[in-house]
């Protein structure tokens, strides 16, 4: 800070001004011990004087920072590594930079009263300061001669003298102590530090040469040279880490290169001692150089810095050596910090096309946002760089294509907002992608409607082949399916096929699985949300048959079914609807399976001697199966309580079997009472409309497909059925036409 001239007292002078002027003179003369000692002399104005002293400190640091080391970003910074410059202790010197009078940087406390200040060379105890070789925001570095050892060294002295704030002094001594405890050829050694003539200073080795930032600025660096430099820095940094010291400000300007092309780490001003948890910064402070600091440091958590934080900086330095620029560069310090925290680094190949893939992988691993994904140590990174230089496989694995794609897509501002990622600056590619996304979103309703219409139209088209389920051998289902398939194939000119099944339950499973498109089945088998009705086909009656004369005699004299108790009853194959209907009837007649065993057998087995003497078969009246059994000593008997049974089961209804159905004298003239159900032609609810229309046309075209077929006029009256939409529309139009015809 410039030394003010002696004030001229006057009656108008303020006592606070006079006291502050006296303090400044004392600082210049070196006669004041400390601020507190001086303030104790003026207790009535101590607070006002302390405020003036703090303001003087702030002004001095501001003016010093304006002329020295400040945050610099990317390749746009002014290169202090111009030709002929020297570097020392992290300071870069330009001989052409006249700056302020060098004398103004010498210890203020040694200036005689009225003297603007001493000049170089200057005597500082054992050191003779020869020239200024570096100037920063906190300190000044001199080339000096150490008399006792007769060697040239560098002396770094804190700026501000007695006005230096406590934090500046702590940082200054942190740098000296951290470096002094490290002994490695890749780290600039510190010789001595202390306090003399009102100023803090330390001496260190003078490195003749250049620094890595100057190398980067000069020309495109050979890739192998860049790898070698960073490899050697990593080994030196590992030594610091092994001695519990984090650097926290690794950058190219803090890596010196001597005249033998060897690297030296310097400037431990932001170092942290892990063994004592000592640091010049606390939580909430972002310390370091923005382009090279790790995300956890840039986010204001420098107290959480670990060895992986320095590893991140090494990756950023290697990136800069190869591409000529740091990984992330913003237009301001704040924007750079935000990019470091939130933005993924670009690929080195986007700036230098000949970068090897393994090197890209090593740098990408160093620059991971999460510390645990980086190399666990600087030594591990150096090992992979060794492997690269020697042509061996590296341990780091590249990011997968999916992860790379996701990282790129998440950089789109709209996507970043949705997933909670802050996108600081979107590239032109990201902006174009977002514009395409917004256009697609705007057009999405039209695409959805158009796609739905197209898909709906596609679903209504006739299938390339129609497969219809049949039923049991000699069953009516097979007869109906055969004729229906023949007519559809002829009318619609589409291949058709009929597959034999075990009956209604089997047909239901085949429809649900998509194995068949249509199937006849009993009403009880049509349930759930996926199946619906095309048309009712015919009624099926329960036929109770007996072949044992004694049982026939008992049935003739007993109005109940007590004679059936204890008898084995054949109820049909396992997949048939007949079996389900038979079990419903037997349960209603209080004939449980424990007392009246139910044999699940195929109907042709009724001709064997091992077959039961009683069978309950639910098929269409006039079935050839029943007619054949009646011709082989089987007799039909009535099922009592048919009305009560139908009330218990909505799918069953009372029926009568007469001689018109079977020409047999064993059937009484009044017929036999029984119950029955209805067979339907069923399909899936999403079946094509064209197929349903073809099935209805084939079903009702003359001649009648089956003698017992329910006429379409009667089918149109069944409005309570769960019809397919196309079938419902068909029968509704038929009902309207029939009504109009009756009105005429």
Burial 157-179 (b: 16+ CB within 10 A, else e): bbbbbbbbeeebbebbbbbbbbb
Residue 276 has pLDDT above 80, yes or no: no
Query: What band does 681 get if pLDDT is binned at 50, 70 and 90?
Result: very high
For residues 548 and 696, state if they share a domain: yes
Catalytic residue, chosen from 60, 86, 249, 384, is 249
Number of domains in the chain: 3
pLDDT number for residue 25: 60
What span, in angstroms and rounded, lies between the C-alpha atoms of 731 and 535?
A: 9
Largest CA distance in the chain: 151
For residues 170 and 235, state if they share a domain: no
Query: What band does 105 get if pLDDT is binned at 50, 70 and 90?
Result: low
Distances (CA, A) of 584 to 68, 245, 524, 559, 589: 99, 86, 10, 20, 9
Look at residue 413 and tell me if it is in a domain. no
pLDDT number for residue 371: 93
Q: Which of 169, 184, 205 marks a domain boundary? A: 205
Look at residue 4 and tell me if it is in a domain. no
Residue 633 forms beta bridges with which residues? none
What span, in angstroms and rounded, lies between the C-alpha atoms of 405 and 381?
A: 26
DSSP 121: S
Q: pLDDT digit string (tens) for 219-251? A: 999 999 999 999 999 999 999 999 999 998 899
Residue 84 has pLDDT above 60, yes or no: no
Query: What band does 674 get if pLDDT is binned at 50, 70 and 90?
Result: very high
What span, in angstroms and rounded, lies between the C-alpha atoms of 711 and 723?
A: 16
pLDDT number for residue 528: 85
For residues 26 and 141, state if they share a domain: yes
Spacing of C-alpha 314 from chain mean position: 29
Q: Which of 138, 173, 205 marks a domain boundary? A: 205
For residue 388, give the nearest of 366, 365, 351, 362 by alpha carbon.
362
Query: What band does 407 get if pLDDT is binned at 50, 70 and 90?
Result: low
For residues 275 and 161, state if they share a domain: no
For residue 611, give the nearest of 619, 600, 624, 627 by alpha carbon.
600
For position 58, which CATH number holds?
3.30.200.20
pLDDT number for residue 310: 95
For residue 286, give the nearest of 297, 275, 270 by alpha carbon.
297
Look at residue 442 and tell me if it is in a domain. no
User: What's the token pair of residue 88?
Assistant: 């020392």
Q: pLDDT digit string (tens) for 582-612? A: 989 998 988 888 888 999 888 888 888 889 9
Residue with tokens 């699940």: 600
What span, in angstroms and rounded, lies between the C-alpha atoms of 512 and 647?
A: 30
Look at residue 24 and tell me if it is in a domain. yes
Residue 350 has pLDDT above 50, yes or no: yes
Query: What band does 531 get if pLDDT is binned at 50, 70 and 90?
Result: very high
pLDDT number for residue 282: 47
Look at residue 437 and tell me if it is in a domain. no
Cis amide linkage into residue 149, ω under 30° from 0:
no
Query: What band does 94 get if pLDDT is binned at 50, 70 and 90?
Result: very low
**Strand segments (E) across 95-189:** 122-124, 127-135, 139-146, 151-158
User: What's the token pair of residue 172?
Assistant: 């200054």
- Kindly state the average pLDDT of the residues 636-664: 89
Q: Which domain holds residue 178?
A: 15-67+90-205
Residue 420 has pLDDT above 80, yes or no: no
Q: What is the 3-state secondary structure (H, E, C) of 501-552?
A: CCCHHHHHHHHHHCCCCEEEEEHHHCCCCCEEEEEEEEEEEEEEEECCHHHH
For residues 201 and 216, state if they share a domain: no
Residues 144/203, Cβ–Cβ less than 8 Å: yes
Is 47 marked active-site?
A: no
For residues 165 and 242, state if they share a domain: no
Q: Report the percentage of the chain scoring pLDDT > 70.
A: 79
Q: pLDDT digit string (tens) for 154-178? A: 998 876 555 556 677 777 777 778 7
Report the mean per-residue pLDDT for the chain: 80
Q: pLDDT digit string (tens) for 106-165? A: 654 445 555 555 678 888 888 999 998 877 656 788 999 999 999 999 998 876 555 556
What span, in angstroms and rounded, lies between the C-alpha atoms of 571 and 617?
A: 6
Q: pLDDT digit string (tens) for 439-472? A: 888 888 888 887 777 666 655 678 889 999 998 8
For residues 237 and 263, state if they share a domain: yes
């Amino acid at each position: 800070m410039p030394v003010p001239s002696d004030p001229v007292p006057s009656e108008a002078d303020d006592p606070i001004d006079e006291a502050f002027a006296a303090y400044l003179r004392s600082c210049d003369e070196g006669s004041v011990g400390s601020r507190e000692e001086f303030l104790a002399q003026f207790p009535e104005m101590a607070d006002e004087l302390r405020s003036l002293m703090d303001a003087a400190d702030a002004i001095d640091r501001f003016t010093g920072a304006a002329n020295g080391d400040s945050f610099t970003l990317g390749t746009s910074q002014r290169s202090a590594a111009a030709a002929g410059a020297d570097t020392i202790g992290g300071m870069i010197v330009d001989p052409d930079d006249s700056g302020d009078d060098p004398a103004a940087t010498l210890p203020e406390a040694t200036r005689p009263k009225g003297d603007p200040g001493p000049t170089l060379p200057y005597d500082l105890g054992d050191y003779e300061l020869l020239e200024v070789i570096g100037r920063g925001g906190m300190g000044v570095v001199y080339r000096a001669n150490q008399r006792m050892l007769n060697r040239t060294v560098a002396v770094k002295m804190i700026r501000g003298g007695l006005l230096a704030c406590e934090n500046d002094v702590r940082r200054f001594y942190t740098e000296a102590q951290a470096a002094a405890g490290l002994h490695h050829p890749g780290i600039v050694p510190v010789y001595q530090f202390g306090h003399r003539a009102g100023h803090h200073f330390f001496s260190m080795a003078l490195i003749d040469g250049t620094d890595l930032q100057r190398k980067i600025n000069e020309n495109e660096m050979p890739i192998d040279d860049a790898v070698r430099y960073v490899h050697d820095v990593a080994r030196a940094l590992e030594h610091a880490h092994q001695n519990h010291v984090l650097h926290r400000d690794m950058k190219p300007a803090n890596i010196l290169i001597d005249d033998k092309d060897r690297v030296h780490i310097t400037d431990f001003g932001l170092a942290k001692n892990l063994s004592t948890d000592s640091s010049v910064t606390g939580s909430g402070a972002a310390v370091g150089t923005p382009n090279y600091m790790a995300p956890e440091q840039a986010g204001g958590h420098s107290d959480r810095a670990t060895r992986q934080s320095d590893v991140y900086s090494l990756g950023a330095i290697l990136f800069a050596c190869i591409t000529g620029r740091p990984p992330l560069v913003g237009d301001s310090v704040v924007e750079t910090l935000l990019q470091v925290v939130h933005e993924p680094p670009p690929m080195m190949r986007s700036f230098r096309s000949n970068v090897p893939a393994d090197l890209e992988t090593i740098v990408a691993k160093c620059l991971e946002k999460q510390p645990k994904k980086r190399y666990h140590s600087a030594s591990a990174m150096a090992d992979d760089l060794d492997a690269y230089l020697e042509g061996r496989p590296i341990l780091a694995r590249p990011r997968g294509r999916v992860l790379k794609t996701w990282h790129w897509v998440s950089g789109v501002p709209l996507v970043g907002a949705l997933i909670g990622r802050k996108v600081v600056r979107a590239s032109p590619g990201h902006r174009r992608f977002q514009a395409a996304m917004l256009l697609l979103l705007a057009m999405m309703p039209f695409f959805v409607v158009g796609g739905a219409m197209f898909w709906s139209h596609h679903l209504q088209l006739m299938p390339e082949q129609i497969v219809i389920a049949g039923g049991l051998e000699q069953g009516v289902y097979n007869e109906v399916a055969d004729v229906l398939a023949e007519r559809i194939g002829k009318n619609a000119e589409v291949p058709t096929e009929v597959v034999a099944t075990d009956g209604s339950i089997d047909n239901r499973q085949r429809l649900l699985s998509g194995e068949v498109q249509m199937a006849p089945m009993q009403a009880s088998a049509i349930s759930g949300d996926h199946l619906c009705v095309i048309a009712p086909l015919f009624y099926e009656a329960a036929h109770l048959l007996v072949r044992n004369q004694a049982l026939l005699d008992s049935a003739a004299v007993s109005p109940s079914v007590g004679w059936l108790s204890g008898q084995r009853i054949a109820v049909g194959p396992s997949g048939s609807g007949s079996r389900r209907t038979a079990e419903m009837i037997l349960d209603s007649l209080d004939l449980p399976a424990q007392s009246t065993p139910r044999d699940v057998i195929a109907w042709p087995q009724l001709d064997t001697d091992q077959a039961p003497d009683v069978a309950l078969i639910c098929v269409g009246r006039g079935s050839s199966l029943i007619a054949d059994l009646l011709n082989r000593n089987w007799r039909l008997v009535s099922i009592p309580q048919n009305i009560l049974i139908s009330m218990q089961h909505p799918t069953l209804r009372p029926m009568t079997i007469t001689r018109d159905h079977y020409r047999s004298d064993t059937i009484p003239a009044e017929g036999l009472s029984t119950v029955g159900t209805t067979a339907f032609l069923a399909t899936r609810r999403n079946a094509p409309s064209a197929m349903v229309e073809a099935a209805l046309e084939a079903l009702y075209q003359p001649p009648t497909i089956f003698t017992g077929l329910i006429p379409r006029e009667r089918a149109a009256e069944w409005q309570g059925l769960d019809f397919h939409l196309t079938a419902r529309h068909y029968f509704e139009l038929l009902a309207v036409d029939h009504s109009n015809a009756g009105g005429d």
